[in-house]
Every structure is written in C-alpha cells, then in structure tokens.
C-alpha cells in the first residue's frame, strides 16, 4: 500500500504570514515527505479565497526540482472546468520535469465556483465531465487525436505534445459517493480514488464492489482496478496530542463550510464519533492510525493507496512533525503488517 499526503494549500487566515510563505512551507513539507519515504504527495484544486491551489501543476513542478522519488499528483484536477488538452500538457510537462513521477486524479471537486468562473453551466454537470474525461483518456492513449463533442471544438488528427516520460501517464478517477461514478471508473479500467471525509468508511464497500464488478465485466484484471482512500487525518506521539492539535482547526473549517451547505456546526461529540473505530477521521498516535488504515482497507476489500489530508489550520512545524511520524512509523507499520498478511 502506498502512503502519502494530500494538501489543499490552505491560505493564511490572518496577516501574520504571507501567501508566499505558505507556498514555501508547503514545498518544504513535500520535500520532507520525499525524504522520510512517503510514496505520494497530492495537491488539490480550488478557486476560493481559503486555498492557494488553483494551479496545482505549478506547485507540483516546483516540488519536482526538490524531490527525487515521491509521486507528484493532483489530489483532484477539476476536469469539468478545464481544457483536457491543457491538463494533459501541464501534467506531461510535470512528468518530464520529475523524470516520470507525475499522476492525475481527475474529478469534479466538492465546490462549484469553477463553473461560473470558466463559463460553464451546472446544468451540464455530468455531461461535461463525461465528455472531457473521454477526451483526456484519448489524448493520453494517442499522439494524434480525432475527436468531437459538445463542449469543446473538435480535433482532426491533431498531434498533442509533449508526451510523458512514462509510457502511460497514470490517471485516477476521483469520486465521492455517486454510484454512477464508481461504475464509470470500473468500465474505463481506471484506478479509483475515494474521498471519504465523513460517515463510516465501510459504507463505501458496496460502491467499491460495484466498481470492481464493472471493471471485471469490462475485461480488466483485478490488479488493474486499484482503490485509493483519501481521508482527513493527523498523527502525533499520542492520541490526546493529536486531537488537541487537530480538532480546533477542523471544527472551525467544517463549521464554516457547513454554513454554506446547511449543515449543523461541528461538535466535539460528533468529532469523537468520526474519530472512532469505524469513522472517517484518522487522528491519533502512529500505532492506532496504522491499525485503523489496515482495518479500513480490509473492510473495503483492500486498498492500494491511503492519503492524509491535514490542512485544517495546523502550524507548519506541527505538520512537519506529523509527516515525520507518518513516514518513520505509520507507513512502516502498515507495510510490515501487509507483508505479513495483517
């Protein structure tokens, strides 16, 4: 199992630190993740004041020059609001800079600001994503592309460059909880990245079974149908220390987002339930977080990748300490248990 970190490049919430410093510290965290042996680092994509990740490929390219082995991926590329040609060109350029370490997680994102920003209608929510995903995969698999659709001008035997260093640029499908999205990923034979930020993780098992069944029926081998899990988490030396460091920022962020979506404020009781044995949060000591990753992997029928999302206004120093623990303790514990079949 690959273990890694996802970041949304949270913007500073006051004037004590500049946006430039935030980006610099993020690059330090990616560099440290590489040094401590983590497998992957992902950058999200948002078009909101709270985040600095609207151009994730730029951040990843900067990180490529400071790292040696870690996979550099989008935590999500909001494909609905992007031109698949430019997405491919950006990430193949990243692949060349990083000497073959680039990946894409294509998805629709959890916010909708990108639709009006780039001139698209939410009425076309699913149709536009389906069409652009089809084109992105066709570009990935063919140097010369002939294609036509509704939301972009056609391509007539058009050559698209540059081509990546990797023989086939990995493209995952990022999903939330829509059955059609899981089935689509299986039918296309794409690896699946499941964002579970609330509820009980095991409830996604029927959807992952749907993905695997769709992939099997489409003729893909089980080893091609990889499943990744993206969840909120934070590791400290003890459970109490981890909760103390994570909960205040988590409560503030999700209460604020909840107001936009009509959800009730975060409570400590709700947090504790989410951080219990079956809940979606991975906040605790290295040993208990490693155990929870393995438990949830087993409940989902096996996962190939787990990524922590820790951007809830935790100081840079504390995030660096957590990355050290994930690399030096959590990842080895998980991989050792897997090698010994749990």
What CATH number is associated with residue 61? 3.20.20.30
* Cα separation, 235 vs 326, whole angstroms: 7
* Cα separation, 63 vs 60, whole angstroms: 5
Q: Is the pLDDT of residue 20 over 80?
A: yes
Question: Burial level of 261, CB count in 10 A (0-12/13-18/19+)?
Answer: exposed
Cα radius of gyration rounded to whole Å, the chain: 19
State residue 263's pLDDT score. 85
Q: Is the pLDDT of residue 166 over 70?
A: yes
What pLDDT band is residue 124 in, cutting at 50, 70 and 90? confident
Q: Is the pLDDT of residue 314 over 70?
A: yes
DSSP 212: H
What pLDDT band is residue 15 in, cutting at 50, 70 and 90? confident
Domains held by the chain: number = 1
In whole angstroms, how far apart are CA 159 and each of 12, 94, 186, 201? 42, 19, 28, 43
* Cα separation, 325 vs 32, whole angstroms: 11
* Cα separation, 45 vs 60, whole angstroms: 12
* Cα separation, 282 vs 306, whole angstroms: 11
pLDDT in tens, 133-147: 999 999 999 999 999
Span 95-102, average pLDDT: 98
Judge if the upstream peptide bond of residue 162 is cis by omega within 30 degrees of 0.
Answer: yes
Across the chain, mean pLDDT equals 95
Cβ atoms of 117 and 94 closer than 8 Å = no
Q: Is the pLDDT of residue 110 over 80?
A: no
Cα atoms in the 13 Å half-sphere on the side-chain side of 241: 10
* Cα separation, 206 vs 80, whole angstroms: 26
Would you tell me the crossing angle of helices 179-188 and 205-217 to the nearest 10 degrees? 30
Q: Tell me which residue range forms the domain holding 163.
A: 2-339
State residue 70's pLDDT score. 98
Q: Is the pLDDT of residue 50 over 70?
A: yes
Cβ atoms of 12 and 18 closer than 8 Å = yes
* Cα separation, 247 vs 25, whole angstroms: 22
pLDDT in tens, 190-209: 999 999 999 999 999 999 99
* Cα separation, 77 vs 328, whole angstroms: 29
Spell out the alpha helix ranges (H) of 142-198. 179-188
Q: Work out the percent of the chain whose per-residue pLDDT is above 90.
A: 85
Residue 6's closest CA among 204, 238, 196? 196
What pLDDT band is residue 342 in, cutting at 50, 70 and 90? low
* Cα separation, 323 vs 247, whole angstroms: 18
Least confident of 44-48, 170-174, 203-207: 44-48
Residue 44's closest CA among 61, 22, 62, 59? 59
Q: Is the pLDDT of residue 290 over 70?
A: yes
Q: Is the pLDDT of residue 341 over 80?
A: no
Q: Work out the percent of the chain whose per-residue pLDDT is above 70.
A: 99
DSSP 108: -
DSSP assignment string, 255-305: HHHHHHHTPPPP-HHHHHHHTSSSBS-EEE-HHHHHHHHHHHHHHTT--SE
Q: Which residue has the higher pLDDT, 262 or 61?
A: 61
Pairing mode, strands 144-147 and 155-159: antiparallel
State residue 95's pLDDT score. 98
State residue 194's pLDDT score. 97
State residue 243's pLDDT score. 98
DSSP 68: S
Spell out the alpha helix ranges (H) of the chain. 19-35, 56-64, 84-97, 114-117, 125-141, 179-188, 205-217, 239-261, 268-274, 286-299, 316-325, 331-339
What pLDDT band is residue 108 in, cutting at 50, 70 and 90? confident
């Amino acid at each position: 199992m690959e273990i890694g970190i996802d970041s949304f490049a949270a913007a500073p919430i006051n004037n004590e630190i500049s946006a430039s410093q935030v980006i610099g510290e993020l690059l330090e965290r990616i560099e440290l993740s590489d040094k401590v042996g983590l497998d992957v680092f992902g950058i999200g994509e948002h078009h909101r004041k709270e985040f600095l990740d609207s151009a994730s490929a730029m951040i990843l390219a900067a990180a490529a020059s400071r790292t040696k082995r870690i996979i550099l991926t989008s935590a999500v590329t909001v494909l609905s609001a992007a031109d698949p040609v430019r997405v491919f060109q950006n990430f193949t350029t990243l692949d060349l800079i990083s000497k073959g370490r680039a990946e894409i997680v294509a998805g629709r994102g959890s916010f909708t600001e990108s639709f009006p920003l780039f001139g698209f209608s939410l009425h076309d929510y699913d149709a536009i994503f389906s069409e652009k995903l089809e084109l992105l995969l066709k570009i990935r698999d063919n140097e010369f592309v002939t294609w036509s659709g509704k939301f972009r001008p056609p391509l007539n035997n058009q050559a698209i460059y540059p081509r990546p260093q990797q023989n086939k640029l990995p493209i995952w499908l990022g999903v939330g909880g829509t059955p059609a999205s899981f089935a689509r990923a299986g039918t296309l034979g794409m690896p699946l990245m499941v964002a579970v930020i609330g509820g009980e993780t095991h409830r996604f098992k029927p959807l992952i079974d749907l993905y695997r069944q769709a992939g099997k029926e489409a003729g893909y081998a089980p080893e091609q149908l990889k499943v990744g899990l993206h969840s909120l988490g934070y590791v400290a030396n003890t459970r109490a220390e981890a909760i103390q460091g994570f909960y205040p920022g988590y409560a503030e962020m999700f209460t604020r987002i909840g107001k936009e979506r009509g959800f009730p404020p975060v409570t400590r009781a709700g947090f504790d339930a989410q951080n219990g044995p079956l809940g979606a949060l991975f906040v605790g000591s290295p040993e208990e977080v490693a155990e929870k990753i393995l438990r949830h992997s087993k409940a989902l029928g096996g996962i190939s990748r787990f990524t922590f999302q820790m951007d809830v206004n935790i100081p840079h120093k504390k995030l660096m300490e957590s990355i050290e623990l994930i690399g030096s303790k959590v990842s080895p514990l998980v991989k050792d248990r897997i090698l010994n079949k749990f």
